[in-house]
Every structure is written in C-alpha cells, then in structure tokens.
Amino acid sequence: MAGRSGIRPITAFDTSSCRSHSAVTIEGFDPAAYIPPLKLRRVDAVGRIALVCMRLLLEDAGLAIGREGRDDVGIALGTLTAGMDSTVEYLKGLVEQGPAGVPALLFSNTVSNAPASLCAIEHGLRGPNVTFNQREASSLAAIAYAASAVRDGRAAAMVSGGADRLERTFFTVQERFGPFARAADGAEVCRPFDRRRNGFILGEAGALLLLEAADAARARGARAYGEILGIGLTASRAALNDWPADAAGAARAMRLALEEAGLEASDVSAVFAAANGARRLDALEAEAIRTTLPPDVPVVALKGAIGESGSAGAVALAVGLLAIAGRTVPPTVGYEEPDPACPVHVSAAPLPVAGRVFLVNAIASGGTIVSVAARAADEAAPQAGAPR
C-alpha cells in the first residue's frame, strides 16, 4: 500500500555475465525458526517456503488436522521454480562424480511436486495432491482447481497457492531470452502499463490460502477473508516462451469468470492484473480489460512491487482480499507515464473502491490464462468470535 518496490540487486549469486542484475527476493526469511534441523537439511529452498507458509496458514485458519491426519483435506500448489535447486545440484554431481557421488536423498527434491508432497506428509493431508507448473499462471490455476474440488465435493477443504525461490541457473537461462527489465537511470525498474516499460523482474514468493465451504468456516469460528465466486480458464496461441498472440483469450477468461459468478461487468470494483512490464503482455491485457469491463474500473499490477513468479497470482488474490475489504486498491508501483496502448484506469497512488467484487488475472508465457472472480469480506462487519 505504501508504494514501495521489493526490487533489489541480486546477492545470492554472481550476475556479472548477465545483462540484468535485480530481482524481488524474500528478506529476513529464517526457515529454521519453523522447521526442525534434521528436516530442514532434507528440504530444498521452495519446499522450505511451502512448509513455513503451510504452518502459518493452519494457525491463521484455526484448522486442526490432528495426529491421525485428514482424508478430506488436500493441497494444490502452483510453482515455477520448485525442483530447480535440487535438479541443478543433482545433475552437476552426476556429471562430475557419477551416480555414487550424488546423495540419494537429493533426488526426491528434483521433482516440482515435492513441496506439495512435503506439506501433505508433514500435516497428514490425504486428499487430492496436485502441483501446477503453468509458468506465470501456476498458482492461480492451482487455486482454480482447489476451489472446484471443494465446490464439487471432492474435498472438504483444500490448501492452495504458490511457492517460488530464485535460482541461479533458472535466472541466467531466462535472462538469455531477453525478457527482463533493462536499467533506466541507473536502476532496473519494472513498470507495468507504463509507456517506458521494457520488461519484467523475477520475484520470490510464498502464499497459501485455505479454501472450504462457507458453512464449515462459520462452524469453526474462522475468519473468512472472502469467497471465490467464479473461474475462467482459457488458452491462447503463443510462440515458444512468449506471451499470447492476441487479447481474445484474456477477455474470454474474464467473461467466463463473471458468467460463472452470475455477475455483470458493472459489478467489478477492481482488477488485479497479470501485467508485468512486458511490452506486449501489458498492452494485450489492457485491451482485454477495455473490451470486457467499464472504462473507470481501477486496475492494479502488483508485479512492479513483487516481481513475476508462478506464485504471483496467489499473492494477488491474497492482497486483493485484504485490500478490497478495506475498500482500497493498492498503487501500481513503477507506473508513472500513461501509455496510449494501455487505456485502463491505473494509478501510482492507492484508489478508493466502493464494492467488494474484484477480478484476478494470470497470463502465462505459453498461452495459459486464468481469471478468478472473488468477493472480499466486509471489513466493517467482522464475524462474531472470529480469530484476528
């Protein structure tokens, strides 16, 4: 809300051979405060984020799993980077030392579904266990799946969201494709929807939500941050490692989400956009919003502050639930100069909103598109007995 950016120079590894040198990294994260040392040694970087988020989530939700576990609670996790650290280390050891020189315990972390599996094992979740690796749309696709599983009665509750951690090889390979923001005035800045935008900044994040039926949350006295009203899932043709070719898929995803929710375009109070500072993506999404929603709907792109990741959609949904409950839309960090190619209502300052319904968009390079319609809880009317 303060309009600060999380973009920092990368210090975890050497970027001298790269043209880009910045990312949004998680600061002050100490997994040892939550995970015992013996377990910590066997968990990779993304797994640590997921396990800590899982513990914090269950505490906040007041959901008691019990020593016996739960058959009716599952997890759907979205990630862009899970398994990367362990895969790089494993393959390096395999090439340099052969099979006998690679720790066997490392192998289980090379698969992207390891963090979700670790969360399920640690807490006894025996319901659906699914990992989505849909690039930038990963976590919002996971949330869409989780919401459908609860709605259709396949699970009583689902943990869902995303976890990502910056990894050297992934960063340097991505950087060679040239999608990252270039330095302007001595600093690399992500500028969603801005006329001067020239690329995105990678980010780290962990964000989990508990999805369950409203009656179950009320019976437990839990605080409900809001509700999922509708989901739109589409795909558009895209070149390898590039954004969709046109705006039709994004517009259709938003319309489908509104249709499933039984809402009109005029009911939407804000849009949390997928825009990340890429020239074509931002213009494409702006066109989709312009043709689908009224012209005065506030649009915010959080990635100017939090960077781009597979977890960004889950972060946007969480931020939306908190911000819209307070009747405010956060600023779009990095946005200063309007672009005629992006004719949407974007602001560098927080904006007031009247309603509680909002859309969250996720658009992946490769063509996957997810739009979720949600309604934030009424902050002015807290639930009786709800934990704060």
pLDDT in tens, 90-105: 898 999 999 888 888 7
Using alpha carbons only, what angle is made at residue 128 by residues 127 and 134, rounded to the nearest 5 degrees?
A: 150
Statement: residue 379 has pLDDT above 80:
no
- % of the chain with per-residue pLDDT over 90: 84
Label the pairing between strands 205-212 and 129-132: unpaired
Q: Please state, rounded to an integer, the average pLDDT across all residues of the chain.
A: 93
367, pLDDT greater than 90 = yes
Q: What is the pLDDT of residue 381?
A: 44
Whether 297 and 287 have beta carbons less than 8 Å apart is answered as: no
pLDDT at 16: 92
Q: Please tell me the predicted confidence (pLDDT) of residue 38.
A: 86
Domain boundary among 169, 199, 220: 220
Is residue 383 over pLDDT 70?
no
Question: Number of folded domains in the chain?
Answer: 2
Residues 14-70: tens digit of each pLDDT: 999 999 999 999 999 999 999 999 888 889 999 999 999 999 999 999 998 988 999
- State both tokens at 12: 């975890």
Q: How far is CA 343 from the centre of its chain?
A: 25
Q: What is the pLDDT of residue 103?
A: 82
Does one domain contain both 155 and 250?
no
- Name the percent of the chain lying above pLDDT 70: 97
Q: Is the pLDDT of residue 382 over 60?
A: no
Question: Is pLDDT at 380 greater than 70 in this prediction?
Answer: no
Is pTM beyond 0.85? Reply is: yes
CA-wise closest residue to 134 among 286, 314, 279, 305: 314
Whether residues 327 and 287 share a domain: the answer is yes
pLDDT of residue 178 exceeding 50: yes
Does any domain span residue 1? no
Instruction: Look at residue 339 in the predicted model and tell me its pLDDT.
Output: 97
| 193 and 296 both lie in a single domain | no
State the DSSP string of 214-234.
HHHHHHHTPPP-EEEEEEEEE
Residue 197 and residue 248 in one domain? no
Same structural domain, 202 and 101: yes
Residues 210 and 236 in one domain: no
- Kindly state the average pLDDT of the residues 325-352: 96
pLDDT in tens, 228-287: 999 999 999 998 889 999 999 999 999 999 999 999 999 999 999 999 999 999 999 999
Give the closest residue to 241 by CA, choosing from 136, 381, 356. Answer: 136
Looking up residue 312, the CATH number of its domain turns out to be: 3.40.47.10
pLDDT class of 185 with cuts at 50, 70, 90: low
Per-residue pLDDT at 67: 87
Q: Determine the structural domain holding residue 74 and report its residue range.
A: 7-220
Domain stops at, among 220, 253, 283: 220
199 shares a domain with 55: yes
